Amino acid sequence: MGEKNLVSDKVLITEIKKTLSKIANNDSSWRLVLGRETLSATAVIQRLDKDKKLQKIVLTHYVGLAVEMEKRGREKRFGEENT
């Protein structure tokens, strides 16, 4: 049985693009470093629709970041978790 996503990758990419648009407007020095390549927020937005490899990297990064932020928030509110 295949695993079903609760939120589609397309929806996540749309939300990430919104966030990157805000970043592009507020912090022109923001960069995503991918090995030897450095991309501005605007460049990431432009490439996300076409570049499946970049989509996977960005989705993995942002989902991991969201989980880490949620974990830190819980630890701050409820104390450190025993994992």
Per the CB < 8 A criterion, the answer to whether 34 and 40 are in contact is no
Percent of the chain beyond pLDDT 70?
90
Identify the band that residue 77 occupies on the pLDDT scale cut at 50, 70 and 90.
confident
Contacts 24+ apart (CB under 8 A), 24-28: none
Give the model confidence (pLDDT) of 50-66 as tens digits. Answer: 999 999 999 999 899 99
Say whether pLDDT at 73 is over 80. yes
Output the CA–CA distances (angstroms, integers) from residue 47 to 4, 36, 75, in the order listed: 26, 16, 36
Paired with 69 in beta bridges are none
Element (H, E) at 12: helix 9-26
Per the CB < 8 A criterion, the answer to whether 41 and 21 are in contact is yes
